[in-house]
Chains A and B, each alone.
Chain A
Amino acid sequence: MIERIERQTTRVKSFLLRPQHWRYFRAGQHLDVRLTAPDGYQAQRSYSVASAPGLEGLYELVVERLENGEISPFFHDVAEVGDAIEIRGPFGGHFVWSPEDGGPLLLVGGGSGLAPLMSILRHLSAVSDAVRVILLYAARTWDDVIFREELIALDGAKADFTLLLSLSRDTPRRPHDIGRRVDASLLKVALARLGAAPRLTFVCGSNAFVETITGHLVDLDLGPETIRAERFGG
Protein backbone atom coordinates (compact mmCIF):
# COMPACT_ATOMS: atom_id res chain seq x y z
CA MET A 1 0.00 0.00 0.00
CA ILE A 2 1.23 3.48 -0.79
CA GLU A 3 1.96 5.13 2.53
CA ARG A 4 3.58 8.33 1.33
CA ILE A 5 4.36 10.13 -1.92
CA GLU A 6 7.15 12.69 -2.01
CA ARG A 7 7.99 15.01 -4.87
CA GLN A 8 11.74 14.90 -5.39
CA THR A 9 12.19 16.99 -8.56
CA THR A 10 9.93 18.33 -11.30
CA ARG A 11 9.99 14.93 -13.01
CA VAL A 12 10.56 12.54 -10.11
CA LYS A 13 8.46 11.37 -7.20
CA SER A 14 9.28 8.77 -4.61
CA PHE A 15 6.70 6.33 -3.32
CA LEU A 16 6.91 4.71 0.10
CA LEU A 17 5.19 1.35 0.02
CA ARG A 18 4.18 -0.55 3.14
CA PRO A 19 3.45 -4.15 2.09
CA GLN A 20 1.51 -6.72 4.06
CA HIS A 21 4.56 -8.98 4.14
CA TRP A 22 7.70 -6.90 4.14
CA ARG A 23 10.92 -8.82 3.53
CA TYR A 24 14.43 -7.87 4.53
CA PHE A 25 16.50 -7.40 1.40
CA ARG A 26 19.98 -6.54 0.11
CA ALA A 27 20.85 -2.96 -0.77
CA GLY A 28 20.68 -2.54 -4.57
CA GLN A 29 17.81 -4.95 -5.18
CA HIS A 30 14.59 -4.11 -7.04
CA LEU A 31 10.86 -4.75 -6.77
CA ASP A 32 8.64 -5.93 -9.61
CA VAL A 33 5.43 -3.90 -9.76
CA ARG A 34 2.38 -5.33 -11.52
CA LEU A 35 -0.62 -3.20 -12.46
CA THR A 36 -3.95 -4.70 -13.52
CA ALA A 37 -6.61 -2.97 -15.60
CA PRO A 38 -10.33 -3.71 -15.06
CA ASP A 39 -10.40 -6.08 -18.06
CA GLY A 40 -7.51 -8.11 -16.67
CA TYR A 41 -4.75 -6.60 -18.85
CA GLN A 42 -1.51 -6.45 -16.87
CA ALA A 43 1.71 -4.51 -17.17
CA GLN A 44 4.88 -5.04 -15.14
CA ARG A 45 7.96 -2.94 -14.44
CA SER A 46 10.95 -3.21 -12.13
CA TYR A 47 11.95 -0.40 -9.78
CA SER A 48 15.06 -0.33 -7.61
CA VAL A 49 14.44 0.05 -3.90
CA ALA A 50 16.03 3.32 -2.77
CA SER A 51 15.46 2.83 0.95
CA ALA A 52 17.89 0.91 3.14
CA PRO A 53 17.03 -2.60 4.36
CA GLY A 54 17.11 -1.15 7.86
CA LEU A 55 14.00 0.94 7.14
CA GLU A 56 11.81 -1.85 8.38
CA GLY A 57 8.40 -2.37 6.85
CA LEU A 58 8.83 0.05 3.97
CA TYR A 59 10.21 0.12 0.44
CA GLU A 60 10.95 3.46 -1.21
CA LEU A 61 10.67 3.53 -5.02
CA VAL A 62 11.89 6.37 -7.22
CA VAL A 63 9.76 6.92 -10.32
CA GLU A 64 10.66 9.36 -13.09
CA ARG A 65 7.68 10.42 -15.15
CA LEU A 66 8.38 9.42 -18.75
CA GLU A 67 6.32 11.27 -21.33
CA ASN A 68 5.52 8.14 -23.35
CA GLY A 69 5.58 5.77 -20.42
CA GLU A 70 2.78 3.34 -19.66
CA ILE A 71 3.43 2.97 -15.93
CA SER A 72 5.17 6.14 -14.76
CA PRO A 73 2.33 8.51 -15.74
CA PHE A 74 -0.02 6.25 -13.77
CA PHE A 75 2.19 6.60 -10.70
CA HIS A 76 2.55 10.36 -11.08
CA ASP A 77 -0.94 11.35 -12.20
CA VAL A 78 -3.31 8.74 -10.75
CA ALA A 79 -1.84 6.84 -7.76
CA GLU A 80 -2.71 8.15 -4.30
CA VAL A 81 -1.77 7.42 -0.71
CA GLY A 82 -3.81 4.42 0.39
CA ASP A 83 -3.80 2.69 -3.01
CA ALA A 84 -2.84 -0.97 -3.12
CA ILE A 85 -0.04 -1.82 -5.55
CA GLU A 86 0.90 -5.42 -6.35
CA ILE A 87 4.62 -6.12 -5.86
CA ARG A 88 7.01 -9.08 -6.01
CA GLY A 89 10.47 -9.33 -4.59
CA PRO A 90 12.84 -7.69 -3.84
CA PHE A 91 15.01 -9.44 -6.42
CA GLY A 92 18.58 -9.13 -7.58
CA GLY A 93 21.70 -11.19 -6.99
CA HIS A 94 24.43 -9.13 -8.60
CA PHE A 95 23.95 -5.38 -8.26
CA VAL A 96 23.91 -5.62 -4.48
CA TRP A 97 26.14 -4.58 -1.61
CA SER A 98 26.40 -6.12 1.84
CA PRO A 99 28.74 -5.08 4.65
CA GLU A 100 30.92 -8.14 4.09
CA ASP A 101 31.66 -6.83 0.58
CA GLY A 102 33.54 -3.97 2.22
CA GLY A 103 35.11 -1.07 0.36
CA PRO A 104 36.36 1.33 -0.86
CA LEU A 105 33.35 1.87 -3.11
CA LEU A 106 32.86 3.99 -6.20
CA LEU A 107 29.20 4.71 -6.94
CA VAL A 108 28.31 6.40 -10.24
CA GLY A 109 24.70 7.28 -11.02
CA GLY A 110 22.79 9.15 -13.70
CA GLY A 111 19.26 10.50 -13.25
CA SER A 112 16.93 8.01 -11.60
CA GLY A 113 19.83 5.54 -11.64
CA LEU A 114 20.55 7.00 -8.22
CA ALA A 115 17.87 4.78 -6.65
CA PRO A 116 19.80 1.54 -5.97
CA LEU A 117 22.94 3.54 -5.10
CA MET A 118 20.90 5.41 -2.49
CA SER A 119 19.96 2.12 -0.87
CA ILE A 120 23.63 1.11 -0.76
CA LEU A 121 24.66 4.49 0.64
CA ARG A 122 21.91 4.58 3.29
CA HIS A 123 22.63 0.97 4.32
CA LEU A 124 26.34 1.58 4.51
CA SER A 125 25.86 4.71 6.61
CA ALA A 126 23.70 2.82 9.06
CA VAL A 127 25.79 -0.30 9.53
CA SER A 128 29.37 0.50 8.71
CA ASP A 129 31.92 2.96 10.01
CA ALA A 130 35.03 2.31 8.06
CA VAL A 131 34.00 2.06 4.39
CA ARG A 132 35.24 4.84 2.14
CA VAL A 133 32.66 5.78 -0.52
CA ILE A 134 32.45 8.29 -3.33
CA LEU A 135 29.19 9.01 -5.14
CA LEU A 136 29.55 10.69 -8.49
CA TYR A 137 26.03 11.71 -9.45
CA ALA A 138 25.09 13.12 -12.85
CA ALA A 139 21.99 15.26 -13.28
CA ARG A 140 20.91 18.00 -15.67
CA THR A 141 20.53 20.79 -13.14
CA TRP A 142 20.87 21.46 -9.41
CA ASP A 143 17.10 21.06 -9.11
CA ASP A 144 17.22 17.64 -10.77
CA VAL A 145 19.42 16.17 -8.03
CA ILE A 146 17.21 13.57 -6.34
CA PHE A 147 17.57 13.37 -2.53
CA ARG A 148 19.73 16.48 -2.79
CA GLU A 149 19.47 17.74 0.78
CA GLU A 150 20.06 14.28 2.24
CA LEU A 151 23.14 13.72 0.06
CA ILE A 152 24.64 17.10 0.90
CA ALA A 153 24.01 16.59 4.60
CA LEU A 154 25.66 13.16 4.42
CA ASP A 155 28.63 14.68 2.60
CA GLY A 156 29.09 17.14 5.44
CA ALA A 157 28.49 14.70 8.25
CA LYS A 158 30.40 11.60 7.19
CA ALA A 159 34.17 11.86 6.87
CA ASP A 160 34.49 8.83 4.62
CA PHE A 161 31.70 9.80 2.20
CA THR A 162 32.25 12.30 -0.60
CA LEU A 163 29.56 13.59 -2.96
CA LEU A 164 30.57 14.86 -6.39
CA LEU A 165 27.81 16.36 -8.52
CA SER A 166 28.12 16.62 -12.28
CA LEU A 167 25.55 19.02 -13.70
CA SER A 168 25.38 18.88 -17.50
CA ARG A 169 23.17 21.97 -17.97
CA ASP A 170 23.84 24.06 -14.91
CA THR A 171 26.65 25.82 -13.12
CA PRO A 172 28.10 24.07 -10.09
CA ARG A 173 26.98 25.39 -6.69
CA ARG A 174 29.53 23.73 -4.42
CA PRO A 175 33.29 24.14 -4.76
CA HIS A 176 34.07 20.60 -5.92
CA ASP A 177 31.09 20.05 -8.19
CA ILE A 178 31.40 20.18 -11.95
CA GLY A 179 29.34 21.90 -14.63
CA ARG A 180 29.75 19.38 -17.41
CA ARG A 181 28.91 15.78 -18.27
CA VAL A 182 30.83 12.96 -16.67
CA ASP A 183 33.92 12.19 -18.74
CA ALA A 184 37.16 10.28 -18.22
CA SER A 185 38.92 13.16 -16.47
CA LEU A 186 36.04 13.55 -14.01
CA LEU A 187 36.18 9.85 -13.20
CA LYS A 188 39.92 10.24 -12.68
CA VAL A 189 39.22 13.04 -10.19
CA ALA A 190 36.68 10.86 -8.39
CA LEU A 191 39.14 7.98 -8.16
CA ALA A 192 41.85 10.32 -6.89
CA ARG A 193 39.50 11.61 -4.19
CA LEU A 194 38.61 8.06 -3.23
CA GLY A 195 42.29 7.67 -2.49
CA ALA A 196 42.51 3.97 -3.29
CA ALA A 197 41.35 1.59 -6.00
CA PRO A 198 37.70 0.72 -5.40
CA ARG A 199 37.08 -2.83 -4.31
CA LEU A 200 33.71 -2.56 -6.08
CA THR A 201 32.21 -0.02 -8.45
CA PHE A 202 28.46 0.29 -8.99
CA VAL A 203 27.23 2.17 -12.06
CA CYS A 204 23.53 2.78 -12.67
CA GLY A 205 21.64 4.84 -15.23
CA SER A 206 20.52 4.75 -18.84
CA ASN A 207 22.30 2.30 -21.11
CA ALA A 208 24.20 5.07 -22.91
CA PHE A 209 25.39 6.49 -19.58
CA VAL A 210 26.51 3.11 -18.25
CA GLU A 211 28.23 2.14 -21.48
CA THR A 212 30.22 5.39 -21.53
CA ILE A 213 31.15 5.29 -17.84
CA THR A 214 32.13 1.62 -17.74
CA GLY A 215 34.22 2.06 -20.89
CA HIS A 216 36.16 4.91 -19.25
CA LEU A 217 36.60 2.95 -16.02
CA VAL A 218 38.07 -0.03 -17.87
CA ASP A 219 40.40 2.39 -19.71
CA LEU A 220 41.41 3.77 -16.30
CA ASP A 221 42.52 0.24 -15.41
CA LEU A 222 39.73 -0.79 -13.09
CA GLY A 223 39.30 -4.57 -13.27
CA PRO A 224 36.11 -5.31 -15.26
CA GLU A 225 35.13 -7.97 -12.74
CA THR A 226 34.98 -5.30 -10.01
CA ILE A 227 32.46 -3.19 -11.95
CA ARG A 228 28.74 -3.91 -11.57
CA ALA A 229 26.24 -2.25 -13.86
CA GLU A 230 22.50 -1.75 -13.81
CA ARG A 231 21.08 -0.33 -17.01
CA PHE A 232 17.65 0.78 -18.11
CA GLY A 233 16.02 2.32 -21.13
CA GLY A 234 16.88 1.78 -24.80
Chain B
Amino acid sequence: MATRGFTGRRPAPELADRVPPGQSLTEDFPVLTAGPTPRISLGDWSFTLKSGPRPVKRWTWAEFNTLPQTKMTRDIHCVTKWSKLNTPWTGVLIDDLLADAELEPPTSHTLVHSYDGYSTNVPVADLIGGKAMIATHYEGKPLTPAHGGPARLLVPHLYFWKSAKWINALQFTERDEAGFWELRGYHIYGDPWREQRFTGD
Protein backbone atom coordinates (compact mmCIF):
# COMPACT_ATOMS: atom_id res chain seq x y z
CA MET B 1 0.00 0.00 0.00
CA ALA B 2 1.42 3.35 -0.99
CA THR B 3 2.41 5.96 1.59
CA ARG B 4 0.26 9.06 1.03
CA GLY B 5 2.26 11.77 -0.73
CA PHE B 6 5.54 9.86 -1.06
CA THR B 7 7.20 9.91 -4.47
CA GLY B 8 10.79 9.03 -3.60
CA ARG B 9 14.01 9.31 -5.52
CA ARG B 10 14.97 6.32 -7.57
CA PRO B 11 18.50 5.30 -8.57
CA ALA B 12 19.40 5.86 -12.23
CA PRO B 13 17.76 3.10 -14.33
CA GLU B 14 21.12 1.66 -15.43
CA LEU B 15 22.08 1.19 -11.77
CA ALA B 16 18.74 0.00 -10.44
CA ASP B 17 19.40 -3.71 -10.74
CA ARG B 18 22.64 -3.39 -8.81
CA VAL B 19 20.78 -2.07 -5.76
CA PRO B 20 19.34 -4.82 -3.51
CA PRO B 21 15.83 -4.41 -2.03
CA GLY B 22 15.51 -1.70 0.62
CA GLN B 23 18.90 -0.15 -0.14
CA SER B 24 19.78 3.39 -1.23
CA LEU B 25 22.91 4.44 -3.08
CA THR B 26 25.49 6.65 -1.44
CA GLU B 27 28.59 8.40 -2.71
CA ASP B 28 29.85 8.67 0.87
CA PHE B 29 31.61 5.93 2.77
CA PRO B 30 29.72 5.68 6.09
CA VAL B 31 31.29 4.13 9.16
CA LEU B 32 29.15 2.13 11.54
CA THR B 33 31.07 0.64 14.41
CA ALA B 34 29.48 -0.39 17.68
CA GLY B 35 32.32 1.01 19.77
CA PRO B 36 35.57 2.98 19.56
CA THR B 37 38.04 2.40 16.73
CA PRO B 38 40.85 0.12 17.93
CA ARG B 39 44.43 1.23 17.42
CA ILE B 40 46.71 -1.51 16.19
CA SER B 41 50.38 -0.95 15.43
CA LEU B 42 51.83 -2.82 12.49
CA GLY B 43 54.57 -4.08 14.74
CA ASP B 44 51.98 -5.79 16.94
CA TRP B 45 49.69 -6.94 14.12
CA SER B 46 49.35 -10.62 13.30
CA PHE B 47 46.82 -12.79 11.55
CA THR B 48 46.16 -16.41 12.56
CA LEU B 49 44.44 -19.24 10.74
CA LYS B 50 42.88 -21.64 13.25
CA SER B 51 41.20 -25.01 13.10
CA GLY B 52 38.95 -25.03 16.13
CA PRO B 53 41.15 -23.87 19.01
CA ARG B 54 44.37 -24.94 17.25
CA PRO B 55 46.45 -22.32 15.45
CA VAL B 56 47.54 -23.61 12.04
CA LYS B 57 49.56 -20.67 10.73
CA ARG B 58 50.33 -17.15 11.87
CA TRP B 59 51.59 -14.23 9.76
CA THR B 60 53.23 -11.02 10.95
CA TRP B 61 52.58 -7.86 8.93
CA ALA B 62 55.85 -8.32 7.04
CA GLU B 63 55.07 -11.96 6.27
CA PHE B 64 51.49 -11.13 5.28
CA ASN B 65 52.71 -8.57 2.77
CA THR B 66 54.73 -11.18 0.87
CA LEU B 67 51.51 -12.96 -0.12
CA PRO B 68 50.01 -12.45 -3.61
CA GLN B 69 48.04 -9.19 -3.85
CA THR B 70 44.76 -9.05 -5.75
CA LYS B 71 42.59 -6.07 -6.73
CA MET B 72 38.86 -6.44 -6.31
CA THR B 73 36.26 -3.82 -7.30
CA ARG B 74 32.82 -4.61 -5.97
CA ASP B 75 29.50 -3.19 -4.82
CA ILE B 76 28.99 -3.24 -1.06
CA HIS B 77 25.75 -3.27 0.92
CA CYS B 78 25.30 -2.27 4.55
CA VAL B 79 22.38 -3.58 6.58
CA THR B 80 21.67 0.02 7.61
CA LYS B 81 20.31 0.56 4.07
CA TRP B 82 23.18 2.16 2.17
CA SER B 83 24.90 0.64 -0.84
CA LYS B 84 28.06 1.86 -2.52
CA LEU B 85 28.98 0.75 -6.03
CA ASN B 86 32.39 0.02 -7.52
CA THR B 87 34.45 0.12 -4.34
CA PRO B 88 38.10 -0.71 -5.15
CA TRP B 89 40.01 -2.89 -2.71
CA THR B 90 43.42 -4.59 -2.69
CA GLY B 91 44.42 -7.47 -0.45
CA VAL B 92 45.05 -11.17 -0.17
CA LEU B 93 42.40 -13.60 -1.43
CA ILE B 94 41.37 -16.21 1.13
CA ASP B 95 42.28 -18.77 -1.53
CA ASP B 96 45.88 -17.50 -1.52
CA LEU B 97 45.95 -17.45 2.27
CA LEU B 98 44.92 -21.10 2.43
CA ALA B 99 47.41 -22.01 -0.28
CA ASP B 100 50.23 -20.36 1.66
CA ALA B 101 49.21 -22.31 4.76
CA GLU B 102 48.90 -25.47 2.66
CA LEU B 103 45.52 -25.98 4.28
CA GLU B 104 42.38 -27.47 2.77
CA PRO B 105 39.33 -26.17 4.70
CA PRO B 106 38.80 -28.76 7.46
CA THR B 107 35.14 -27.77 8.02
CA SER B 108 32.34 -25.89 6.19
CA HIS B 109 32.07 -22.99 8.64
CA THR B 110 34.23 -20.18 9.91
CA LEU B 111 34.14 -17.65 12.71
CA VAL B 112 36.09 -14.48 12.00
CA HIS B 113 37.71 -12.58 14.88
CA SER B 114 38.68 -8.93 15.22
CA TYR B 115 40.99 -6.96 17.48
CA ASP B 116 38.16 -5.24 19.36
CA GLY B 117 36.46 -8.50 20.30
CA TYR B 118 34.06 -8.44 17.35
CA SER B 119 33.24 -11.69 15.57
CA THR B 120 31.09 -12.83 12.67
CA ASN B 121 30.41 -16.18 11.01
CA VAL B 122 30.86 -16.86 7.30
CA PRO B 123 30.45 -20.22 5.51
CA VAL B 124 33.64 -21.46 3.81
CA ALA B 125 31.83 -21.58 0.48
CA ASP B 126 31.38 -17.79 0.69
CA LEU B 127 35.09 -17.17 1.28
CA ILE B 128 36.76 -19.25 -1.41
CA GLY B 129 36.75 -19.23 -5.20
CA GLY B 130 37.75 -15.57 -5.35
CA LYS B 131 34.74 -14.41 -3.36
CA ALA B 132 36.59 -12.89 -0.40
CA MET B 133 39.89 -11.41 0.70
CA ILE B 134 41.74 -9.86 3.61
CA ALA B 135 41.81 -6.25 2.36
CA THR B 136 44.64 -3.87 3.25
CA HIS B 137 44.05 -1.06 0.76
CA TYR B 138 41.10 0.99 -0.37
CA GLU B 139 41.37 3.16 -3.51
CA GLY B 140 45.03 2.25 -3.67
CA LYS B 141 45.82 3.70 -0.22
CA PRO B 142 46.35 1.86 3.07
CA LEU B 143 43.06 1.15 4.81
CA THR B 144 42.39 3.82 7.45
CA PRO B 145 41.62 2.69 11.02
CA ALA B 146 38.02 3.96 10.81
CA HIS B 147 37.40 1.65 7.85
CA GLY B 148 39.08 -1.35 9.43
CA GLY B 149 42.80 -0.76 8.90
CA PRO B 150 45.39 -2.31 9.00
CA ALA B 151 43.34 -5.20 7.55
CA ARG B 152 39.73 -6.26 7.31
CA LEU B 153 37.81 -9.13 5.83
CA LEU B 154 36.01 -8.29 2.59
CA VAL B 155 33.02 -10.48 1.63
CA PRO B 156 31.12 -8.08 -0.63
CA HIS B 157 28.26 -10.38 -1.65
CA LEU B 158 26.97 -10.49 1.96
CA TYR B 159 25.81 -7.57 4.12
CA PHE B 160 28.84 -5.60 5.15
CA TRP B 161 28.72 -6.50 8.85
CA LYS B 162 30.22 -9.79 7.68
CA SER B 163 33.30 -7.93 6.35
CA ALA B 164 34.89 -7.80 9.79
CA LYS B 165 37.12 -4.81 10.43
CA TRP B 166 40.47 -5.14 12.24
CA ILE B 167 40.59 -8.86 11.50
CA ASN B 168 43.12 -10.90 13.44
CA ALA B 169 41.99 -14.51 13.02
CA LEU B 170 39.98 -16.83 10.81
CA GLN B 171 38.81 -19.90 12.68
CA PHE B 172 37.30 -23.04 11.13
CA THR B 173 34.41 -24.25 13.29
CA GLU B 174 32.52 -27.55 13.37
CA ARG B 175 29.15 -25.82 13.38
CA ASP B 176 27.81 -22.48 12.20
CA GLU B 177 28.44 -20.30 15.26
CA ALA B 178 26.73 -16.94 15.61
CA GLY B 179 29.05 -13.95 15.98
CA PHE B 180 28.55 -10.51 17.59
CA TRP B 181 25.65 -9.13 15.54
CA GLU B 182 24.15 -12.54 14.84
CA LEU B 183 23.79 -12.95 18.61
CA ARG B 184 22.08 -9.57 18.74
CA GLY B 185 19.30 -10.19 16.27
CA TYR B 186 20.97 -10.05 12.87
CA HIS B 187 20.55 -12.81 10.29
CA ILE B 188 22.89 -15.80 10.49
CA TYR B 189 23.75 -15.61 6.74
CA GLY B 190 23.00 -12.05 5.52
CA ASP B 191 22.24 -12.16 1.76
CA PRO B 192 21.30 -8.61 0.67
CA TRP B 193 19.39 -9.92 -2.37
CA ARG B 194 17.05 -11.90 -0.15
CA GLU B 195 17.01 -9.01 2.33
CA GLN B 196 18.24 -11.22 5.16
CA ARG B 197 18.81 -8.45 7.69
CA PHE B 198 17.36 -9.88 10.91
CA THR B 199 16.89 -13.33 12.40
CA GLY B 200 13.92 -14.98 10.73
CA ASP B 201 13.93 -12.82 7.59
Contact = CB atoms under 8 A, between A and B. Distances in A.
B38 A224 contact: yes
Given A70-B24, A84-B3, A214-B36, A37 B8 contact: yes
B5 A78 contact: yes
Nearest to B4: A83
Contacts of B38: 224
B146 A211 contact: yes
B81 A228 contact: no
A215 interface: yes
* Interface SS of A by simple majority: mixed
A104 B2 CA distance: 45
Contacts, number: 100
Given A45-B81, A93-B184, A94-B184, A215 B5 contact: no
B33 interface: yes
A224 to B, nearest CB: 5
B24 A43 contact: yes
Contact of B8 (A70, A86, A93, A234): A70
B146 A86 contact: no
B22 A44 contact: yes
A224 B31 contact: no
B185 A93 contact: yes
A130 B142 CA distance: 47
A185 to B, nearest CB: 19
A25 B4 CA distance: 28
B30 A233 contact: yes
Interface string B1-34: 1111111111000000000011010101111111
A46 B35 contact: no
Interface string A198-234: 0000000001000100110110000011011101111
Nearest 6 CB-CB pairings of A with B: A93-B184, A234-B28, A214-B36, A78-B5, A35-B3, A37-B8
6 contacts: A37-B8, A79-B5, A93-B183, A211-B37, A228-B34, A228-B35
